[in-house]
Structure formats: structure tokens, C-alpha cells
Amino acid sequence: MKTIAVFFGGRSVEHEVSVITGMQVIENLDKSKYEAVPVYITKDGKFLGGESLSNFKTFKEGNFDDAYEVYFKAGRGGKLYRQVEEKGGLFSKGGMKEEVYADVDMVFVALHGTFGEDGSIQGYFDTMDIPYIGCSTLSAAVGMDKKIMKDVFRAHDIPVMEGKCFYRRQWREEKDNVKKAITELGYPVFVKPVNLGSSIGITKVKEAAELDDAMDLAASYDRKILVEKAAENPREINCAVMGYAGDVIASALEEPVGWKDLLSFDDKYVGGGKKTGPSKGKNARNCPADVDEDLKKKIEDLAKDAFTAIDACGAARIDFLVTEAGPVVNEINTLPGSMGFYLWEPVGIPFAELLNRVIELGEIRAKERKDTTYSYESNLFTKTTYGSKL
């Protein structure tokens, strides 16, 4: 039996979405193989443990009285510690003592957005030498930064929409130059924070008069702002992929229906959200999407190419815009909400099996790190004259 620490919550505007993903992962983990240990990261960055954190009721009611802080220690591998009160006895004063909360074999990263999906927590786990699922520090960071992500895609001849990136400082100090560059790009455009997900901070701008509010909103969420040409009447088609190092498989395709211009945060997560199969209503999605075999293959191939281009690992979802000229990659989501399980069920991979495979891929990547040499015996200190008198 392996111990899987499920990390969720986090310092992100997608905090609540992450909690839902974390609860779903804990509920669906194969209990014959894994023991799930919850680790909730609060909005101010504290790591909390406790049995009550496996129950969604705790978060609905906001009652964390039974939770306590937990922490890793450098050089101690995957041991998570907590402080407990030690009662005094006849010959002792009592006080606080340290005990192991969990001896972790693998961290299941169920964090969305900043400080979780952007390479931050991955770098922390790398430093602590703790295995984790999903993308590496670098691939997570590239997948989160829409500007760098699309630069990588262009370098691999993966089609993306034309766009320009601006710094918040440029917008505030060189506004006229920024507006001129956006006018040259041509309206309508989408204005997006570079490092964010769930459609938060994104605005479709149809004319110059709407630009200021859109740029100010995006700049409030990130120091970098991406402005992209808006495709005319596109279809949105999404495809999940899973694998590592070029060995990648594709899921069913989905198509959100009944939307216009932009799927908002509420469209994605409130009032029904993800559905499998044809459905009606505000949040309806056709899964599998009604596409011909030629388009299906193009999207699947591009999805695999995009995943491999950033050296991703685990399961990701790639979102496409399909125009008259063909499909273009809108973005890659390296840790989709609910792990994108609804895209895998139609191809015969239930949620529990999806989690099994993602954990196994994390173990493969962790073994690669173990097989890599990170030190070099040079005996440099005995050969240098640094510090001697000249």
C-alpha cells in the first residue's frame, strides 16, 4: 500500500476549483493500492493536514478546527511532520513534540493556477526530493505562461493565433504605444493575463473604446498581458492527452455548445459544468464531439505534439479553436479541473484508472531523476588558491 499525499487549495484564484479536484481525487483513488492523505494549502499558503480535510463538508462549512499545520523537512524524504502537544508528567514539563503525519510515497498535485500549476510547488518538491505526479518544474512553468507556451508551439510549427505580449509597466507607462500596437494587430482581440486559467481576467474587446478596462483587468491579475486576434465564429474543441516522453494517447473530443465569444468561469464550473454526451442548456457539452475523422485526427495529432513540445507528463487538456483554415491550439492546461476525467470515460478509462496511470507516469519520471547524476567529485577545494594571501 502506497501513501499518496493529495495537495489541493493553494494561493490562487482557482483555489475553490482545486479543492473540488482534490476531493474528487481522494474519493476516486484505488483504495486497494493507495492510501490518500489530504494536504490542504490555505489561501495564505499554510499546509494543513487532518482527517476532516478528506470531507467536502469541511470546506462548505469552513470549519477547520480539527486541522493542523504539517510540513516537510529538507533531507527527510517524503516525511510530513506535525507538532503535537505533549502532556507533562511527574518528571517532565510537557510542551510540543514533533511526530510524523504521513510517510509519503508520492504527491498528487491537484493544484490549479499560480503556485501550484506553474512550476512553483514542483520546484519545491524537486528540492525536497519528493516524487510527484504531472509535469516537471520546467514543463509546468512553460504550460502556464501563455506567451512562452505559444513561442514553444510556434517553434514546433504548431498553429496558434497571432498575438502580442505587453508588460503591466508598459501598459501603465507607455499606454499610447501599446494601444497603437494593438490597433495594428486589429480588432476584435482577446485580452488575457498570461499566467492564469479558468477564463479569469479574460475579455473579448471588439473596439478600441473597450480596451482600457480589459487591459486594467488583466493587469490586476498578472504582470504580463497577452493580446490575441479573435477568431471569427470558431468552434471550440478540447482534447485530453496522457503520457510522457513522446508515448502519448488521446482522449475523446468535446465541444462546448451554446456559448458565445468566451466560456466564463461560471460557464465552466457553476450549474452543471462538465457533462458527458449530448446535452442541452447553458453549460452543455457534446462529448464525443461531432467532428469528421479527418478533423479528429488533426486535433489528436496536434494535441499530442503540443503535449510533447513542452515535455509534459501525466494528463493534460489541450483547447483548440477550429476556424475555416483549420484547428489552432488555444492553450494547454497541464492540470485540468477534475483531471478531465469526463474526456477519458468515453474511451474506456474510468476515473480510478486515470488516476492509476497518472501516478504510474509520475513514478517513471521520478525514477529518471534517480538515474540522473546531480553531483560531481572535483576535489576543487584542495586545488584552488582562493583565500590565500597574494
Same domain for 267 and 204: no
Same domain for 241 and 126: no
DSSP, collapsed to helix, strand or coil, labels residue 32 as coil
Q: Please report the pLDDT score of residue 376 as a whole number.
A: 83
Q: Please report the pLDDT score of residue 259 as a whole number.
A: 53
Which of 193, 214, 229 represents a domain boundary (last residue)? Answer: 229
Residue 294 inside a domain? The answer is yes
The pLDDT of residue 24 is above 50:
yes
Looking at residue 220, which CATH number applies to its domain? 3.30.1490.20
Residues ≥6 apart with Cβ < 8 Å to 378? none
Residue 292 inside a domain? The answer is yes
The pLDDT of residue 282 is above 50:
no
**CA angle, residues 59, 60, 61, in degrees to nearest 5:** 90
DSSP state string for 90-149: SS---EEEEEEEEE-SEEEE---STTTTSSHHHHHHHHHT--BSS--HHHHHHHH-HHHH
Whole-number average pLDDT of the chain: 90
Same domain for 171 and 212: yes
pLDDT by residue (tens digit) across 229-275?
Answer: 999 889 999 999 999 999 999 999 999 986 555 555 455 545 444 44
pLDDT by residue (tens digit) across 185-243?
Answer: 999 999 999 987 657 889 999 999 999 999 999 999 999 999 999 998 899 999 999 99
Q: How confident is the model at residue 82 (pLDDT cuts 50, 70, 90)?
A: very high
Looking at residue 251, which CATH number applies to its domain? 3.30.470.20
Residue 386 inside a domain? The answer is no
Q: Please report the pLDDT score of residue 380 as a whole number.
A: 79
Same domain for 267 and 198: no
Task: Indicate the pTM of the whole model.
Answer: 0.88
Query: 115 exposed, middle or buried (CB, 10 Å; 0-12, 13-18, 19+)?
Result: middle
Same domain for 125 and 95: yes
pLDDT by residue (tens digit) across 94-110?
Answer: 678 899 999 999 999 99
Looking at residue 121, which CATH number applies to its domain? 3.40.50.20
Which of 110, 132, 154 represents a domain boundary (last residue)? Answer: 132
Stated as kind and residue range, the H or E segment containing 230 is: none
Same domain for 249 and 213: no
Spatial separation of the C-alpha atoms in residues 88 and 257, rounded to whole Å: 64
Q: Please report the pLDDT score of residue 276 as a whole number.
A: 38
Containing structural domain, residue 245:
233-370
Same domain for 224 and 269: no
Same domain for 313 and 255: yes
Q: Please report the pLDDT score of residue 280 as a whole number.
A: 41
CB 288 within 8 A of CB 299: no
Q: Please report the pLDDT score of residue 387 as a whole number.
A: 64
Same domain for 189 and 104: no
End-to-end CA distance of the chain: 61
Domain count, the chain: 3
Same domain for 246 and 269: yes
pLDDT by residue (tens digit) across 336-369?
Answer: 999 999 999 999 999 999 999 999 999 999 999 9
pLDDT by residue (tens digit) across 299-328?
Answer: 999 999 999 999 999 999 999 999 999 999
Which of 193, 212, 229 represents a domain boundary (last residue)? Answer: 229
